[in-house]
Structures are given as C-alpha cells and as structure tokens.
A and B are shown apart, each in its own frame.
Chain A
C-alpha cells in the first residue's frame, strides 16, 4: 500500500496552529518558503494562497505581485522528515513493516494482511479515515508492487486497487509517464520524445526493437530513477526493488515501583544500584553501552526529580554508573518520599561483550600462549609475530620461511648435517672489501662496517649455485666461506660469482664482489 500526503508540510503547520482547513489562520493566503541562492522560493502554499495565484516552485517575490497579502513562513523539511518517520512507525498498524518514501509518502507492506481489516477496500477506507482524523490529507492505493502502488496513489483514481491477478502494466497504461518515479531531466527527455503515458513507454519497451533502442539511449544510467526501463520492470515486478523499512529504536529503560516511599539516602542508593544492575542486563542483551543516562524519581506528591549524566565513553559498568550518580543525588528533595524510580539510557552506543576478569586471572596464573600471541599481534601487527619454518630450497635465505606463530610445522626434508649454518642471517648481505691471495682462493683480510679484520681461520668454499628455474640466467653462483677473525668472531661470507664468468652487472671481467651474510655463534 502506498500512501501519499500531498499537503504534509501545510497539514503539519495547521496542526501546530490548531486550526482546521480553511479556517482561522489558514483562511488568509500563506506560503511556506525555503531560502535558495536566488532568494526565497515557495515550497508549499495553502488554498487561499493558491486561489490568489501563488503556486509551489514560484519565487516569493513573483507570488507577492500576484497576491500582495501572501504571508510567508519558513518551511521545516527536517521536521517534516521526522514527522514522516513517526508516521511510518504509526503506519505499521496496517502491515508488518513500513518504509518512508521521502518527502511526503509512505509504503506499507500489506501482503496477506487485508483480510484482517475485512478486505482491501475496507483497509483503504480505514487508512483514509485514520489520516483524516489526524487532519492529514492522504491518498492511498494498493497494488502488487511498490512502484504500481506509488503510481496509483499519486496519479490514479481515488482508492485504486490492483488485485494480484490483474495485469499491472495494462491497468497503469493511461497514467502519465511521471508516475514511473523518474528524475526531472529524464521526464524532460521523454516528453520531448513524445512519450506521455506509461502505456506509450510500455508499448515502446515491448515492441519490436524498441526495447533495444531505449536501452541504448539510457545505457549508462545505472540508477533506477534515471532509467525508465528499470522503473518499468520494477512496476511490473520483473526486477526486485528493495525497500528500507523504518525500525523504532526504543531506549533501554528500567524502572522500579517502590512498595513503601523512601525518604533516606542509603535506601535510594540501594534502589539505584538495583536499577543499574537491571539496566546493565538490558544493555548487555542488546550489545550496547550507555553514553547518556536519565534518572527520574517520582515523589508521592507527584513531583519529579530528574538527574542527567553523560559519559565520556560507552560503558556497561553498574558500579561506575552508581558512583557517578552518587554525587548528583545529594540535593534530591525527597519530600514525603519517593515511590518510583526510572533509569533510562537516552543515548546508547554499540559496545561488544567483553570478558571482564581476563586481566585479573592472567595476573594470577599467567596468560596462555594464544592470549599472549593475540596481545602481541594486536599491538605489533600481524606480520611482527611469526615463527621460522623450513622451506625446500638450498639457497640460504630461501631455506627459511615465516609462518603464523601457532601454525603446524610444514613437512620438510632435513638439512644435510655436514652443512654448518650461521646462527643469524642478515636480511640483505652486506658488502665487504676482501684481500685475497688468489681471486678464487681463500680470503686473507676483510673490511666490514669500517673495521679491518684478519682472517685467522677459514673453511671453504661451499659453492651454492643459483636456482636457475627461478632466477635469470645472469644470476651468479656463491662461494661461501666460514671465517674466524683474530679475536674469535665467526662470520659467513661469500663471493658472488667467479672471476671471468661473464655474469652479473660487470660483464667485462671485473672482480666479483664479496658479501657478509651471517653471524656464527
């Protein structure tokens, strides 16, 4: 069911003024205006104003020339929207859910509901009567699809109903093309094309080659409001049209009626503690934490004392709430006694459930490994906490991979026991200057990090060829040496390539470079 309130803004204003249509303040010409870049423009105008010549969309100055006594008041679109939202909630009396159709319409799902009201005609009559009782002008229509109901409510006959079995397109054919819920510029295009009725459009879309032509013209319009084909399909129910229903968010509220009026502070503190505990339970069920609280205390003589509290971060800690309220309750006048107390969370924010005593337990027993890794990962990032795992490669830096800390050990081939490997490996090998007796012989001295070191003992070379199946053909082999300097420090150094192998960056016989790759124990 679609409901259209054509004069929503004016009806609201009249409700505020408390006068019926055409009487009291409404008897004089009146316009609701919005400020635009070019001056005030009329948003809505009452009957007297319309009789005087003013129309919505006119500039106020133009309207004043036609109707000099026109009274101008600012429109309130935000208030209208809020009112429409409340109206949508109220309209759920006719169906399980209702959606807003801003700025002045409602869509109510009445699928399989009409029999509760005695049929669709009686349902529509009920809706009209209820809206009239509220002082709102409304037109309602029922159709199988939201688009069809919308079109009927605005452009169709009064209280129009399309039953499920009937052909929607055929019923709507005489309606103007504006009932397709299209943007103004698309409507302009259609009008210039001579398409005036929904039936014209439908005939074009179903005719031979017509649909392709329309499709081509609107091929880059994705939005349904800009593409008449999509709207037409929605109207006929050939494509789905999701609607967003309005859901009421009730504030968390707990209250206690007291058997005996209380007059003393300790009892009030007890009541507050109970209320806070109740509220915490309610909030916990919703997964929310409270940001603003309102405590209302009803006295026997009908007076109400209200205390409000706002918190810096959403919380669900009852003791915390009590502690904060304790300072605000000192000046509450109990009079003959307080007979009811109500605690309401006027502002709540989502707050995930948390295990409260994890820290306390960890303090005593220590954390588990998984908890420890979680804490480290959260603070340091997922790539900071890893474990080394073996990998199938003979290149030293590729022989070790990094895996999740708690992942199972991957299967691997064991390293040959006669290969001695360093305790620590540098991420990138550092270049060193080496003195040697022969270009392919053992090193004698090397300079690393600006410090000259004698090679007291050396073992090598251990030749490690590049992985030709991954690397380029110009990759050089490495000759690794285990060396110990004069002070006993042990390093793993390598010579990248051989003299005269014609590879690497220096193709013309320059000497190969030396690198330091690891530190032995």
Chain B
C-alpha cells in the first residue's frame, strides 16, 4: 500500500477547522473515500437512495476533477443478497436516477458469501464506475476480515464501494465512512402540498477517518447533493433506529 496516500497525523489534527466545515456534497478533503457503509432499516428505501446519492456525488466530483469533465459512462454493479432482495425488492429501472438507468448490472447472490465474492470481483474490475452492495443483517461471513478485504480491493483498484446494511447492528468493520441513514419528512412541494415531496434523508456519520461525526439532512437538488444541519427540534429528538440497532458494539477500527 502506498504510504503517501495515508493521511498523516498532522494532517488529521491540524486542519480541524476545515474538517468542521466539511459536509457531504462538498467533495473530497484529503483521501477519497472508497469504502462506505450505510446502515438503514429494511423497511426503508432511504439507505439505497442515500447510497446512490453519495455515489453520484462522488462520481460528479471525480469527473469535475478529472480530464476536462469528459463524462465516461461506465456501468455500475449492484449486488444484492437473497434476504435483502426479498425484503427490500429489486432495483426498478424507471425509478432510478436517470444517469444510472442504463448502466446497472444487477447481481442476485444467494447468500452473503456469494454477495461478498461478487462485490470483490466488482471492485477488481477496472470498467466499473462504482459498486453498490446490499446485505441484510449481520452474516457471519461479513466480519472484520471480509470488510478489510473489500476496503483493500477498493483502494487498490480505485473503484468505490457503497455497502448498504439492512437491519444490521453496527458491528466491526473497516469502512472509511459509516453512516446511519433513515428517511426524513420531505419538504412540501410547491404544486401539491399534500403529496410527498422531493426525497430527503437523515444521515448520521458516526465513524469516519478524516471527519468528525455529524448529522445532516441530505437532499438531491437537481444535480448536486445538498446537506443541511437538521433543525434543533429534530436534533434533540431521540433518533429512531427501532430496536434493531443496539447502542453497544458500535465501534469501528476505521475511526482509528
């Protein structure tokens, strides 16, 4: 592994002010995050939606930073294990973001082991824009070692991985960013105030290497990802994770 790509201790400590100002949608500060884990409830479409929004935001930033903004349309690998497929359904092309509709390659894996194999093969592939994984629960195969393998594969080949964990406890993992995401009440639309508005998600970054934890309300504003601090009322209210997310065992080595 290239040591120069790692953040130095000084780099982590000194620009605390810039780190405080960071929020999703502002792009990269320091190292590009190539392995994110998004914890979400299985009855909620917010986890996958937020993962797609983060992935598209990362892609957009890469294209702006890349050569002249030439849009290279690489396919996207979407891996689901059987339980998450049963629980949350299949990706539905007409409802996907328009930029991704024609680029999805869907893999229906039987168990977590096959899903991990597919994720790793996807990360090794140079022709993929990013890989989305959905794994339900805390399968035994997805331990710290497997998580670390995924991290290393993603960082070696530069393919970002967004792993959505449905109904999972915050077990050990080596993801560089770990989020807890749930749906947030949508803003009122200007045409029909009684209808559900533009999707928005409450995202809590509880572990990250280079950033302090924080909570945001994420929204897609046309092309860009917009993050706002949640209102004081929402912040004080106890976050509703259901009874599936215990408070203990929420540590991460990635937090280092």
The chain A residues found within 8 Å of chain B, CB to CB, are: 362, 365-369, 371-373, 375-376, 379-380, 383-390, 396, 399-400, 402, 405, 409, 415, 419-427, 448-449, 451, 456-459, 482-484, 486-490, 518-521
Instruction: Please judge, given known A-B contacts A423-B49, A518-B89, A518-B92, whether A488 and B109 are in contact too, CB under 8 Å.
Output: no
18 additional A-B pairs beyond A365-B126, A368-B126, A423-B96, beta carbons within 8 Å, are: A366-B125, A367-B126, A368-B125, A375-B121, A384-B107, A385-B105, A386-B108, A388-B92, A388-B93, A402-B106, A405-B105, A423-B95, A424-B95, A459-B196, A488-B46, A488-B182, A488-B184, A519-B45
In the complex, which residues of chain A have a beta carbon less than 8 angstroms from the beta carbon of B121? 367, 372, 375-376
Q: Is the CB of A484 within 8 A of B105?
A: no
In the complex, which residues of chain A have a beta carbon less than 8 angstroms from the beta carbon of B125? 366-369, 371-372
Q: Is the CB of A372 within 8 A of B124?
A: yes
Q: Is the CB of A426 within 8 A of B89?
A: yes
Question: When chains A and B are docked, how far (Å) is the Cα of A427 from the Cα of B195?
Answer: 26
Question: When chains A and B are docked, how far (Å) is the Cα of A404 from the Cα of B110?
Answer: 19
Chain B 182-209, CB-CB to A under 8 Å as 1, else 0, gives 1111100000101111011010000000
Instruction: Please judge, given known A-B contacts A385-B105, A449-B43, whether A372 and B128 are in contact too, CB under 8 Å.
Output: yes
Interface centre among B43, B89, B102 (most CB of A within 10 A): B89
Question: When chains A and B are docked, how far (Å) is the Cα of A375 from the Cα of B105?
Answer: 14
Task: Select one of A385, A409, A448, A449 contacting B107, CB under 8 A.
Answer: A385
Q: Closest 6 CB pairs between A and B?
A: A366-B126, A519-B45, A521-B49, A459-B195, A369-B127, A372-B125
Chain B 61-99, CB-CB to A under 8 Å as 1, else 0, gives 000000000000001010000000110111111111000
Question: When chains A and B are docked, how far (Å) is the Cα of A305 from the Cα of B186?
Answer: 86
- Total A-B pairs in contact (CB under 8 Å)? 178
Q: Say yes or no for B104: interface residue by CB 8 A criterion.
A: yes
Question: When chains A and B are docked, how far (Å) is the Cα of A390 from the Cα of B92?
Answer: 10
In the complex, which residues of chain A have a beta carbon less than 8 angstroms from the beta carbon of B183? 487-490
The size class of the interface chain B forms with chain A is 35 or more
Q: Is the CB of A409 within 8 A of B102?
A: yes
CB distance from B3 to the nearest CB of A (A): 19
CB distance from A87 to the nearest CB of B (A): 55
Residue of B whose beta carbon sits closest to that of A448: B43
Q: Is the CB of B118 within 8 A of A376?
A: yes
Q: Is the CB of B192 within 8 A of A459?
A: yes
**Chain B interface, DSSP helix/strand/loop, else mixed:** mixed
CB distance from B199 to the nearest CB of A (A): 4
Question: When chains A and B are docked, how far (Å) is the Cα of A457 from the Cα of B195?
Answer: 5
Q: Say yes or no for B48: interface residue by CB 8 A criterion.
A: yes
In the complex, which residues of chain A have a beta carbon less than 8 angstroms from the beta carbon of B44? 489, 519
Question: When chains A and B are docked, how far (Å) is the Cα of A372 from the Cα of B185?
Answer: 40
Q: Is the CB of A484 within 8 A of B93?
A: no
Question: When chains A and B are docked, how far (Å) is the Cα of A451 from the Cα of B95?
Answer: 25
In the complex, which residues of chain B have a beta carbon less than 8 angstroms from the beta carbon of A372? 77, 121-122, 124-125, 127-128
Q: Is the CB of A489 within 8 A of B46?
A: yes
A-B contact pairs, 18 of them (CB 8 A): A366-B126, A371-B125, A379-B118, A387-B106, A396-B94, A405-B105, A423-B92, A424-B88, A424-B90, A426-B88, A449-B43, A457-B194, A482-B196, A484-B186, A487-B185, A488-B182, A519-B88, A520-B49
Q: Is the CB of B95 within 8 A of A518?
A: yes
Q: Is the CB of A489 within 8 A of B45?
A: yes
Task: Select one of B48, B77, B182, B184 contacting A424, CB under 8 A.
Answer: B48
Q: Say yes or no for B155: interface residue by CB 8 A criterion.
A: no
In the complex, which residues of chain B have a beta carbon less than 8 angstroms from the beta carbon of A365? 126
Question: When chains A and B are docked, how far (Å) is the Cα of A488 from the Cα of B202?
Answer: 10
Q: Is the CB of B92 within 8 A of A488?
A: no
Instruction: Please judge, given known A-B contacts A385-B105, A423-B92, whether A366 and B186 are in contact too, CB under 8 Å.
Output: no
Q: Is the CB of B91 within 8 A of A424?
A: yes
Q: Say yes or no for B114: interface residue by CB 8 A criterion.
A: yes
Interface residues of B in 43-65 (CB under 8 A from A): 43-46, 48-49, 52
In the complex, which residues of chain B have a beta carbon less than 8 angstroms from the beta carbon of A487? 182-183, 185, 240
Q: Is the CB of B196 within 8 A of A387?
A: no
In the complex, which residues of chain A have a beta carbon less than 8 angstroms from the beta carbon of B182? 487-489
Task: Select one of A379, A448, A457 contacting B117, CB under 8 A.
Answer: A379
Instruction: Please judge, given known A-B contacts A372-B127, A423-B95, whether A380 and B195 are in contact too, CB under 8 Å.
Output: no
Question: When chains A and B are docked, how far (Å) is the Cα of A390 from the Cα of B49?
Answer: 21
CB distance from B181 to the nearest CB of A (A): 11
Question: When chains A and B are docked, how far (Å) is the Cα of A456 from the Cα of B194?
Answer: 8
Interface centre among A387, A399, A402 (most CB of B within 10 A): A387
